[in-house]
Structure 1
Amino acid sequence: MNVPEEILRAVGSAEWSADHEGLSGDVWHVGSSYVKRAGVDEHDRLLWLGKHFEVPEVRAFADGWLVLADVGAPSLASADPVHAAEVMGSVLRSLHALPVESCPYAATIPVVLEQARLNVEAGLVDADDFDDDHLGATPRELLLKLVATAPTTEDLVVAHGDFCPPNVLLRPDGSTVLIDVARLGVSDRHRDLALVHRELGEEAAGAFDRAYGLTPRPEVLAWYRLLDEFF
Protein backbone atom coordinates (compact mmCIF):
# COMPACT_ATOMS: atom_id res chain seq x y z
CA MET A 1 0.00 0.00 0.00
CA ASN A 2 1.19 3.47 -0.87
CA VAL A 3 0.15 5.20 2.34
CA PRO A 4 0.88 8.96 2.57
CA GLU A 5 3.64 9.89 5.02
CA GLU A 6 1.27 12.21 6.91
CA ILE A 7 -1.03 9.25 7.61
CA LEU A 8 1.84 7.04 8.79
CA ARG A 9 3.04 9.77 11.16
CA ALA A 10 -0.46 10.16 12.59
CA VAL A 11 -0.81 6.47 13.51
CA GLY A 12 2.78 5.70 14.50
CA SER A 13 4.15 2.18 14.56
CA ALA A 14 1.04 0.31 15.76
CA GLU A 15 0.02 -2.87 13.93
CA TRP A 16 -2.52 -2.51 11.10
CA SER A 17 -5.47 -4.86 11.45
CA ALA A 18 -8.44 -5.33 9.12
CA ASP A 19 -10.24 -7.55 11.65
CA HIS A 20 -12.80 -5.38 13.44
CA GLU A 21 -16.53 -5.03 14.02
CA GLY A 22 -18.93 -2.60 12.41
CA LEU A 23 -16.89 -1.24 9.48
CA SER A 24 -16.37 -2.40 5.93
CA GLY A 25 -14.26 -1.71 2.88
CA ASP A 26 -10.69 -0.44 2.98
CA VAL A 27 -10.56 0.17 6.73
CA TRP A 28 -7.82 -0.74 9.22
CA HIS A 29 -7.69 -0.56 13.00
CA VAL A 30 -4.35 0.94 13.99
CA GLY A 31 -3.72 1.49 17.69
CA SER A 32 -6.34 3.97 18.90
CA SER A 33 -7.35 4.98 15.37
CA TYR A 34 -9.10 3.74 12.28
CA VAL A 35 -7.49 4.38 8.90
CA LYS A 36 -9.65 4.31 5.81
CA ARG A 37 -9.53 5.17 2.15
CA ALA A 38 -12.41 7.60 2.05
CA GLY A 39 -11.76 10.65 -0.09
CA VAL A 40 -12.71 14.26 0.30
CA ASP A 41 -16.47 13.54 0.30
CA GLU A 42 -16.39 11.79 3.66
CA HIS A 43 -13.76 14.10 5.14
CA ASP A 44 -15.78 17.23 4.42
CA ARG A 45 -19.05 15.70 5.54
CA LEU A 46 -17.54 14.53 8.82
CA LEU A 47 -16.42 18.07 9.55
CA TRP A 48 -19.85 19.48 8.70
CA LEU A 49 -21.89 16.86 10.54
CA GLY A 50 -19.59 17.11 13.56
CA LYS A 51 -21.05 20.54 14.24
CA HIS A 52 -24.43 18.91 14.91
CA PHE A 53 -23.81 15.27 15.94
CA GLU A 54 -20.98 13.31 17.42
CA VAL A 55 -18.78 11.74 14.76
CA PRO A 56 -15.27 10.27 15.03
CA GLU A 57 -12.52 12.85 15.45
CA VAL A 58 -10.51 13.37 12.26
CA ARG A 59 -6.86 13.02 13.27
CA ALA A 60 -5.37 13.31 9.80
CA PHE A 61 -6.39 13.51 6.15
CA ALA A 62 -4.16 13.23 3.09
CA ASP A 63 -4.59 12.08 -0.51
CA GLY A 64 -7.93 10.39 0.17
CA TRP A 65 -6.79 8.69 3.39
CA LEU A 66 -8.52 9.42 6.71
CA VAL A 67 -7.32 8.76 10.24
CA LEU A 68 -10.27 8.66 12.63
CA ALA A 69 -10.20 8.28 16.40
CA ASP A 70 -11.46 4.95 17.71
CA VAL A 71 -14.68 5.91 19.50
CA GLY A 72 -14.49 2.80 21.66
CA ALA A 73 -18.17 1.91 21.27
CA PRO A 74 -19.86 -1.00 19.50
CA SER A 75 -22.26 -0.51 16.63
CA LEU A 76 -25.97 -1.23 16.81
CA ALA A 77 -25.34 -4.28 14.62
CA SER A 78 -24.53 -6.14 17.85
CA ALA A 79 -27.49 -4.80 19.84
CA ASP A 80 -30.94 -6.30 20.36
CA PRO A 81 -32.77 -5.55 17.08
CA VAL A 82 -35.77 -3.84 18.67
CA HIS A 83 -33.57 -1.71 20.93
CA ALA A 84 -31.35 -0.86 17.96
CA ALA A 85 -34.43 0.16 15.99
CA GLU A 86 -35.66 2.44 18.76
CA VAL A 87 -32.28 4.16 19.05
CA MET A 88 -32.02 4.52 15.27
CA GLY A 89 -35.50 6.00 15.05
CA SER A 90 -34.67 8.66 17.63
CA VAL A 91 -31.29 9.48 16.05
CA LEU A 92 -32.67 9.70 12.54
CA ARG A 93 -35.56 11.90 13.64
CA SER A 94 -33.00 14.36 15.04
CA LEU A 95 -30.81 14.20 11.93
CA HIS A 96 -33.77 14.77 9.64
CA ALA A 97 -34.81 17.76 11.74
CA LEU A 98 -31.66 19.71 10.76
CA PRO A 99 -32.43 22.68 8.50
CA VAL A 100 -32.11 21.60 4.88
CA GLU A 101 -30.74 24.99 3.89
CA SER A 102 -27.81 24.52 6.30
CA CYS A 103 -26.45 21.49 4.42
CA PRO A 104 -24.16 22.20 1.44
CA TYR A 105 -24.35 18.67 0.01
CA ALA A 106 -26.99 17.68 -2.55
CA ALA A 107 -28.33 14.13 -2.94
CA THR A 108 -31.60 14.94 -4.66
CA ILE A 109 -33.06 12.65 -7.31
CA PRO A 110 -31.34 14.33 -10.30
CA VAL A 111 -28.00 14.15 -8.48
CA VAL A 112 -28.25 10.50 -7.46
CA LEU A 113 -29.56 9.44 -10.89
CA GLU A 114 -26.50 11.00 -12.49
CA GLN A 115 -24.24 9.30 -9.94
CA ALA A 116 -25.94 5.97 -10.63
CA ARG A 117 -25.42 6.42 -14.38
CA LEU A 118 -21.75 7.23 -13.91
CA ASN A 119 -21.28 4.20 -11.66
CA VAL A 120 -22.84 1.93 -14.28
CA GLU A 121 -20.67 3.39 -17.05
CA ALA A 122 -17.56 2.99 -14.91
CA GLY A 123 -18.36 -0.68 -14.22
CA LEU A 124 -18.74 -0.07 -10.49
CA VAL A 125 -22.14 -1.76 -10.12
CA ASP A 126 -21.90 -5.48 -9.28
CA ALA A 127 -24.96 -7.38 -10.53
CA ASP A 128 -23.97 -10.39 -8.40
CA ASP A 129 -24.53 -8.26 -5.31
CA PHE A 130 -28.10 -7.22 -6.18
CA ASP A 131 -30.94 -7.94 -3.77
CA ASP A 132 -32.88 -11.14 -4.51
CA ASP A 133 -35.70 -9.34 -6.33
CA HIS A 134 -33.20 -7.75 -8.75
CA LEU A 135 -30.99 -10.76 -9.43
CA GLY A 136 -30.76 -11.65 -13.11
CA ALA A 137 -31.00 -8.05 -14.29
CA THR A 138 -28.03 -6.17 -15.71
CA PRO A 139 -26.96 -2.83 -14.24
CA ARG A 140 -28.12 -1.04 -17.40
CA GLU A 141 -31.55 -2.72 -17.24
CA LEU A 142 -31.94 -1.68 -13.62
CA LEU A 143 -30.81 1.84 -14.44
CA LEU A 144 -33.57 2.16 -17.04
CA LYS A 145 -36.08 1.00 -14.41
CA LEU A 146 -34.66 3.42 -11.88
CA VAL A 147 -35.04 6.38 -14.23
CA ALA A 148 -38.50 5.35 -15.44
CA THR A 149 -39.94 4.94 -11.93
CA ALA A 150 -38.27 7.90 -10.17
CA PRO A 151 -40.60 9.78 -7.80
CA THR A 152 -41.81 13.15 -9.08
CA THR A 153 -41.69 14.85 -5.67
CA GLU A 154 -39.24 14.76 -2.75
CA ASP A 155 -39.69 15.22 0.99
CA LEU A 156 -36.26 16.75 1.54
CA VAL A 157 -34.22 16.34 4.73
CA VAL A 158 -30.55 16.08 5.66
CA ALA A 159 -30.10 12.36 5.02
CA HIS A 160 -27.25 10.12 6.17
CA GLY A 161 -27.32 8.12 2.94
CA ASP A 162 -26.15 4.80 4.44
CA PHE A 163 -28.18 4.65 7.64
CA CYS A 164 -28.00 1.09 8.94
CA PRO A 165 -27.13 -0.55 12.29
CA PRO A 166 -23.35 -0.87 11.66
CA ASN A 167 -23.10 2.88 11.05
CA VAL A 168 -24.53 3.95 14.41
CA LEU A 169 -22.29 3.42 17.44
CA LEU A 170 -23.87 3.26 20.90
CA ARG A 171 -22.00 4.19 24.07
CA PRO A 172 -22.89 2.63 27.46
CA ASP A 173 -24.38 5.98 28.53
CA GLY A 174 -26.82 5.86 25.61
CA SER A 175 -25.13 8.52 23.47
CA THR A 176 -24.52 7.74 19.81
CA VAL A 177 -21.85 8.36 17.17
CA LEU A 178 -22.52 8.38 13.42
CA ILE A 179 -19.95 6.91 11.03
CA ASP A 180 -19.57 6.26 7.27
CA VAL A 181 -21.12 9.55 6.16
CA ALA A 182 -19.72 9.82 2.62
CA ARG A 183 -23.25 9.86 1.13
CA LEU A 184 -24.70 12.45 3.50
CA GLY A 185 -26.70 15.15 1.76
CA VAL A 186 -30.07 16.75 1.16
CA SER A 187 -32.35 13.96 -0.06
CA ASP A 188 -35.81 12.51 0.40
CA ARG A 189 -36.15 11.04 3.89
CA HIS A 190 -37.01 7.68 2.33
CA ARG A 191 -33.40 7.23 1.24
CA ASP A 192 -32.57 6.55 4.89
CA LEU A 193 -35.87 4.88 5.75
CA ALA A 194 -35.48 2.38 2.92
CA LEU A 195 -32.17 1.07 4.23
CA VAL A 196 -33.49 0.83 7.79
CA HIS A 197 -36.49 -1.20 6.66
CA ARG A 198 -34.30 -3.43 4.52
CA GLU A 199 -31.89 -4.18 7.36
CA LEU A 200 -34.40 -4.69 10.19
CA GLY A 201 -36.95 -7.46 10.64
CA GLU A 202 -40.67 -6.68 10.66
CA GLU A 203 -40.92 -6.31 14.44
CA ALA A 204 -37.87 -4.08 14.67
CA ALA A 205 -38.97 -1.98 11.70
CA GLY A 206 -42.25 -1.31 13.49
CA ALA A 207 -40.34 -0.19 16.58
CA PHE A 208 -38.23 2.08 14.39
CA ASP A 209 -41.28 3.68 12.77
CA ARG A 210 -42.80 4.41 16.18
CA ALA A 211 -39.56 6.00 17.45
CA TYR A 212 -39.10 7.96 14.23
CA GLY A 213 -42.71 9.10 14.24
CA LEU A 214 -43.72 8.37 10.65
CA THR A 215 -44.95 5.43 8.60
CA PRO A 216 -43.03 5.41 5.31
CA ARG A 217 -44.61 5.04 1.87
CA PRO A 218 -43.93 1.49 0.59
CA GLU A 219 -43.61 2.49 -3.07
CA VAL A 220 -41.01 5.15 -2.23
CA LEU A 221 -39.13 2.71 0.01
CA ALA A 222 -38.96 0.30 -2.93
CA TRP A 223 -37.51 2.97 -5.24
CA TYR A 224 -34.79 3.95 -2.79
CA ARG A 225 -33.90 0.29 -2.22
CA LEU A 226 -33.51 0.05 -5.99
CA LEU A 227 -31.35 3.18 -5.96
CA ASP A 228 -29.04 1.61 -3.38
CA GLU A 229 -28.11 -1.14 -5.83
CA PHE A 230 -25.98 1.43 -7.68
CA PHE A 231 -23.88 2.53 -4.66
Structure 2
Amino acid sequence: MPEASEFEDLSQFHEQGDDPVPSVVLAVDASPELVWRNELGGLTYRVGDRYVKWSPRSAGIDLARERDRLLWLDGRHPAPRVLSYGADGEAEWLVTAGMPGDHAVGDEWRARRSEAIAAIARGLRAIHAVPVDDEARGWESWVVRRPPSLGDRPATDEPVLVHGDACAPNTLISASGEWVGNVDFGDLAVGDRWADLAVASMSLDWNFGDGHQDEFFAAYGIARDEERIQYYRALWELES
Protein backbone atom coordinates (compact mmCIF):
# COMPACT_ATOMS: atom_id res chain seq x y z
CA MET A 1 0.00 0.00 0.00
CA PRO A 2 1.47 3.40 -0.91
CA GLU A 3 2.61 5.54 1.95
CA ALA A 4 1.75 9.12 2.77
CA SER A 5 3.13 11.51 5.32
CA GLU A 6 1.10 12.58 8.33
CA PHE A 7 0.26 15.83 6.58
CA GLU A 8 -0.50 14.62 3.06
CA ASP A 9 -4.02 14.80 1.66
CA LEU A 10 -5.12 11.18 1.28
CA SER A 11 -8.23 11.98 -0.74
CA GLN A 12 -6.46 11.19 -4.02
CA PHE A 13 -6.23 7.55 -2.91
CA HIS A 14 -9.98 7.31 -2.24
CA GLU A 15 -11.49 8.94 -5.33
CA GLN A 16 -12.64 7.13 -8.45
CA GLY A 17 -12.04 10.21 -10.61
CA ASP A 18 -12.92 9.93 -14.29
CA ASP A 19 -11.99 6.27 -14.60
CA PRO A 20 -14.91 3.86 -15.02
CA VAL A 21 -15.45 1.14 -12.46
CA PRO A 22 -14.05 -2.07 -14.01
CA SER A 23 -16.79 -4.30 -15.37
CA VAL A 24 -15.52 -7.30 -13.41
CA VAL A 25 -16.04 -5.32 -10.19
CA LEU A 26 -19.57 -4.36 -11.21
CA ALA A 27 -20.23 -8.05 -11.90
CA VAL A 28 -19.55 -8.73 -8.21
CA ASP A 29 -21.74 -5.87 -7.00
CA ALA A 30 -23.49 -3.02 -8.81
CA SER A 31 -22.63 -0.47 -6.10
CA PRO A 32 -18.97 -0.93 -5.13
CA GLU A 33 -17.23 1.48 -2.76
CA LEU A 34 -13.67 2.48 -3.69
CA VAL A 35 -11.45 2.19 -0.61
CA TRP A 36 -7.99 2.59 -2.16
CA ARG A 37 -6.33 3.63 -5.42
CA ASN A 38 -2.61 2.91 -5.61
CA GLU A 39 -0.10 4.93 -7.57
CA LEU A 40 0.20 2.21 -10.24
CA GLY A 41 -3.50 2.26 -11.16
CA GLY A 42 -4.62 -0.60 -8.96
CA LEU A 43 -8.04 -0.26 -7.31
CA THR A 44 -9.52 -1.86 -4.20
CA TYR A 45 -13.28 -1.87 -3.65
CA ARG A 46 -15.54 -2.84 -0.76
CA VAL A 47 -18.59 -4.73 -2.03
CA GLY A 48 -20.80 -5.62 0.90
CA ASP A 49 -18.78 -7.94 3.11
CA ARG A 50 -16.21 -8.63 0.38
CA TYR A 51 -13.25 -6.82 -1.16
CA VAL A 52 -12.16 -6.78 -4.78
CA LYS A 53 -8.62 -5.92 -5.79
CA TRP A 54 -8.30 -4.99 -9.46
CA SER A 55 -4.94 -4.32 -11.08
CA PRO A 56 -4.12 -3.48 -14.71
CA ARG A 57 -1.41 -5.55 -16.35
CA SER A 58 0.61 -2.36 -16.80
CA ALA A 59 1.00 -2.04 -13.02
CA GLY A 60 3.23 -5.09 -12.84
CA ILE A 61 1.45 -6.38 -9.72
CA ASP A 62 0.95 -10.14 -9.61
CA LEU A 63 -2.35 -10.84 -7.87
CA ALA A 64 -2.04 -14.57 -8.62
CA ARG A 65 1.06 -14.54 -6.42
CA GLU A 66 -0.90 -12.94 -3.58
CA ARG A 67 -3.77 -15.41 -4.11
CA ASP A 68 -1.38 -18.36 -3.69
CA ARG A 69 0.13 -16.92 -0.53
CA LEU A 70 -3.30 -16.22 0.97
CA LEU A 71 -4.42 -19.77 0.23
CA TRP A 72 -1.33 -21.05 2.03
CA LEU A 73 -1.92 -18.69 4.99
CA ASP A 74 -5.52 -19.85 5.49
CA GLY A 75 -5.67 -21.36 8.98
CA ARG A 76 -2.14 -20.25 9.80
CA HIS A 77 -2.56 -16.48 10.31
CA PRO A 78 -5.47 -13.97 10.30
CA ALA A 79 -5.52 -12.81 6.66
CA PRO A 80 -8.12 -12.24 3.92
CA ARG A 81 -9.79 -15.46 2.73
CA VAL A 82 -9.73 -15.95 -1.03
CA LEU A 83 -13.17 -16.23 -2.64
CA SER A 84 -12.22 -16.02 -6.31
CA TYR A 85 -9.55 -14.87 -8.76
CA GLY A 86 -9.72 -13.90 -12.41
CA ALA A 87 -7.56 -12.46 -15.20
CA ASP A 88 -7.76 -11.40 -18.80
CA GLY A 89 -5.45 -9.60 -21.22
CA GLU A 90 -5.96 -6.24 -19.52
CA ALA A 91 -6.11 -6.91 -15.79
CA GLU A 92 -6.23 -9.29 -12.83
CA TRP A 93 -8.69 -9.27 -9.95
CA LEU A 94 -8.88 -10.95 -6.58
CA VAL A 95 -12.00 -11.25 -4.43
CA THR A 96 -11.57 -11.85 -0.70
CA ALA A 97 -13.81 -12.02 2.35
CA GLY A 98 -13.85 -8.97 4.59
CA MET A 99 -11.98 -8.94 7.89
CA PRO A 100 -12.75 -7.26 11.21
CA GLY A 101 -10.90 -4.15 12.27
CA ASP A 102 -9.55 -1.05 10.61
CA HIS A 103 -6.19 -0.10 9.07
CA ALA A 104 -3.68 1.26 11.58
CA VAL A 105 -3.56 4.75 10.04
CA GLY A 106 -5.57 7.97 10.06
CA ASP A 107 -6.56 10.50 12.67
CA GLU A 108 -7.99 8.02 15.16
CA TRP A 109 -4.84 5.93 15.36
CA ARG A 110 -2.57 8.96 15.42
CA ALA A 111 -4.51 9.99 18.53
CA ARG A 112 -4.06 6.44 19.90
CA ARG A 113 -0.55 6.02 18.59
CA SER A 114 0.81 3.76 21.34
CA GLU A 115 -2.03 1.27 20.84
CA ALA A 116 -1.45 1.27 17.08
CA ILE A 117 2.30 0.75 17.41
CA ALA A 118 1.81 -2.10 19.88
CA ALA A 119 -0.70 -3.74 17.52
CA ILE A 120 1.68 -3.45 14.55
CA ALA A 121 4.41 -5.11 16.61
CA ARG A 122 2.09 -7.91 17.79
CA GLY A 123 1.00 -8.64 14.25
CA LEU A 124 4.56 -8.94 13.00
CA ARG A 125 5.54 -11.17 15.92
CA ALA A 126 2.61 -13.44 15.00
CA ILE A 127 3.66 -13.62 11.33
CA HIS A 128 7.27 -14.31 12.27
CA ALA A 129 6.14 -17.19 14.50
CA VAL A 130 4.23 -19.05 11.75
CA PRO A 131 5.98 -22.36 10.96
CA VAL A 132 7.26 -22.52 7.39
CA ASP A 133 7.38 -25.42 4.93
CA ASP A 134 9.12 -26.12 1.64
CA GLU A 135 6.45 -24.30 -0.36
CA ALA A 136 6.96 -21.07 1.59
CA ARG A 137 10.75 -21.38 1.39
CA GLY A 138 10.54 -21.29 -2.40
CA TRP A 139 8.68 -17.97 -2.68
CA GLU A 140 10.32 -15.10 -4.55
CA SER A 141 10.21 -11.61 -2.99
CA TRP A 142 12.34 -8.50 -2.65
CA VAL A 143 13.25 -9.68 0.85
CA VAL A 144 15.35 -12.57 -0.50
CA ARG A 145 17.15 -10.76 -3.33
CA ARG A 146 20.87 -9.94 -3.13
CA PRO A 147 21.66 -7.03 -5.47
CA PRO A 148 25.45 -6.67 -5.83
CA SER A 149 25.19 -2.90 -5.45
CA LEU A 150 24.34 -3.29 -1.74
CA GLY A 151 27.31 -5.48 -0.92
CA ASP A 152 27.14 -8.40 1.49
CA ARG A 153 23.85 -8.99 3.23
CA PRO A 154 24.01 -9.21 7.05
CA ALA A 155 23.76 -12.80 8.24
CA THR A 156 20.24 -14.00 9.09
CA ASP A 157 20.15 -15.36 12.63
CA GLU A 158 16.88 -17.26 12.19
CA PRO A 159 14.84 -17.41 8.94
CA VAL A 160 11.17 -16.63 9.58
CA LEU A 161 8.02 -15.95 7.59
CA VAL A 162 8.30 -12.30 6.49
CA HIS A 163 5.26 -10.21 5.54
CA GLY A 164 7.18 -8.26 2.89
CA ASP A 165 5.09 -5.05 3.10
CA ALA A 166 5.00 -4.31 6.81
CA CYS A 167 3.86 -0.69 6.47
CA ALA A 168 1.34 0.50 9.09
CA PRO A 169 -1.77 0.40 6.83
CA ASN A 170 -1.38 -3.37 6.42
CA THR A 171 -2.11 -4.02 10.10
CA LEU A 172 -5.77 -4.30 11.14
CA ILE A 173 -6.84 -3.13 14.61
CA SER A 174 -10.12 -3.55 16.49
CA ALA A 175 -12.01 -0.62 17.99
CA SER A 176 -10.59 -1.61 21.38
CA GLY A 177 -7.04 -1.30 20.05
CA GLU A 178 -6.21 -4.98 19.60
CA TRP A 179 -4.40 -6.45 16.61
CA VAL A 180 -6.83 -8.61 14.59
CA GLY A 181 -5.03 -9.41 11.33
CA ASN A 182 -2.94 -8.30 8.38
CA VAL A 183 -3.49 -7.66 4.66
CA ASP A 184 -1.46 -7.29 1.42
CA PHE A 185 0.63 -10.47 1.33
CA GLY A 186 1.98 -10.38 -2.21
CA ASP A 187 5.61 -10.34 -1.01
CA LEU A 188 5.28 -12.96 1.73
CA ALA A 189 8.49 -15.02 1.88
CA VAL A 190 10.93 -16.73 4.22
CA GLY A 191 13.80 -14.46 5.19
CA ASP A 192 15.18 -12.15 7.86
CA ARG A 193 12.67 -10.63 10.30
CA TRP A 194 14.63 -7.38 9.92
CA ALA A 195 13.19 -6.95 6.42
CA ASP A 196 9.83 -6.36 8.14
CA LEU A 197 11.18 -4.51 11.16
CA ALA A 198 13.18 -2.06 9.06
CA VAL A 199 10.20 -1.19 6.86
CA ALA A 200 7.63 -1.12 9.67
CA SER A 201 9.71 1.25 11.80
CA MET A 202 10.31 3.53 8.80
CA SER A 203 6.57 3.50 8.10
CA LEU A 204 5.89 4.93 11.56
CA ASP A 205 7.62 8.16 10.54
CA TRP A 206 5.33 8.45 7.51
CA ASN A 207 2.12 7.70 9.40
CA PHE A 208 2.67 8.98 12.95
CA GLY A 209 5.53 11.48 12.66
CA ASP A 210 9.14 11.16 13.76
CA GLY A 211 10.29 9.82 17.10
CA HIS A 212 8.41 6.56 17.64
CA GLN A 213 10.71 3.88 16.27
CA ASP A 214 12.23 2.94 19.63
CA GLU A 215 8.70 2.46 20.99
CA PHE A 216 8.03 0.00 18.16
CA PHE A 217 11.20 -2.03 18.78
CA ALA A 218 10.40 -2.16 22.50
CA ALA A 219 6.87 -3.37 21.73
CA TYR A 220 8.23 -6.09 19.44
CA GLY A 221 10.81 -7.02 22.10
CA ILE A 222 14.04 -6.60 20.19
CA ALA A 223 17.07 -4.31 20.34
CA ARG A 224 17.60 -1.94 17.44
CA ASP A 225 20.09 -3.34 14.89
CA GLU A 226 21.33 -0.44 12.81
CA GLU A 227 23.26 -2.54 10.29
CA ARG A 228 20.24 -4.65 9.38
CA ILE A 229 17.88 -1.68 9.43
CA GLN A 230 19.97 0.26 6.95
CA TYR A 231 20.53 -2.76 4.68
CA TYR A 232 16.85 -3.73 4.42
CA ARG A 233 15.65 -0.16 3.98
CA ALA A 234 18.11 0.22 1.11
CA LEU A 235 16.95 -3.11 -0.36
CA TRP A 236 13.31 -2.02 -0.01
CA GLU A 237 13.96 1.21 -1.87
CA LEU A 238 15.87 -0.62 -4.58
CA GLU A 239 13.68 -3.67 -5.10
CA SER A 240 10.14 -3.06 -3.88
Q: Give TM-score, length-normalised by structure 1.
A: 0.72
Does the alignment pair 1:58 with 2:90?
no
Q: Classify 1:215/1:100 alpha carbon distance in 2 versus 1 (closer, same or farther; 3 Å).
A: farther
Length, aligned pairs only? 196
Provide the rounded CA distance (Å) in 2 between the counterparts of 1:170 and 1:44.
24
- Structure 1 counterpart SS, 2:154: coil
Provide the rounded CA distance (Å) in 1 between the counterparts of 2:21 and 2:168.
31
Q: Classify 1:103/1:170 alpha carbon distance in 2 versus 1 (closer, same or farther; 3 Å).
A: farther
Q: Classify 1:216/1:168 alpha carbon distance in 2 versus 1 (closer, same or farther; 3 Å).
A: same
Does the alignment pair 1:112 with 2:112?
no
Provide the rounded CA distance (Å) in 2 between the counterparts of 1:54 and 1:110.
21
Alpha-carbon contact 1:96-1:159 (below 8 Å) kept: yes
Percent identity of the aligned residues?
A: 28
* CA RMSD, 1 decimal: 2.8
Q: Classify 1:84/1:195 alpha carbon distance in 2 versus 1 (closer, same or farther; 3 Å).
A: same
Paired letter, 1:163: A
- The equivalent of 2:193 in structure 1 is 189
Q: Classify 1:207/1:157 alpha carbon distance in 2 versus 1 (closer, same or farther; 3 Å).
A: same
- The equivalent of 1:27 in structure 2 is 43
Alpha-carbon contact 1:14-1:30 (below 8 Å) kept: no
Alpha-carbon contact 1:154-1:187 (below 8 Å) kept: no
- The equivalent of 2:236 in structure 1 is 228
* Divergent runs of 4+, >3 A: 1-5, 100-103, 105-111, 152-155
Deviations 1:71-123 (A, max 9, x none): 3532111313322111111221121112233662435889423xxxxxxxxxx
Paired letter, 2:216: F
Which residues of structure 2 form unaligned runs of 5+? 1-19, 56-61
Q: Classify 1:3/1:60 alpha carbon distance in 2 versus 1 (closer, same or farther; 3 Å).
A: farther
- The equivalent of 2:15 in structure 1 is none
Paired letter, 1:227: L
- Structure 2 counterpart SS, 1:172: coil
Deviations 1:177-213 (A, max 9, x none): 2100000010101100001121124643222212211
Does the alignment pair 1:75 with 2:109?
no
1:168 to 168, 171, 175: 171
Provide the rounded CA distance (Å) in 1 between the counterparts of 2:201 and 2:133.
27
Paired letter, 2:202: R
Alpha-carbon contact 2:194-2:229 (below 8 Å) kept: yes
Does the alignment pair 1:13 with 2:30?
yes
Q: State how 1:202-217 maps to structure 2 within 5 Å.
A: 203-217=211-225
Paired letter, 2:192: D
Provide the rounded CA distance (Å) in 2 between the counterparts of 1:112 and 1:86.
29
- The equivalent of 1:40 in structure 2 is 64
Q: Classify 1:103/1:178 alpha carbon distance in 2 versus 1 (closer, same or farther; 3 Å).
A: farther
Provide the rounded CA distance (Å) in 1 between the counterparts of 2:143 and 2:95.
32
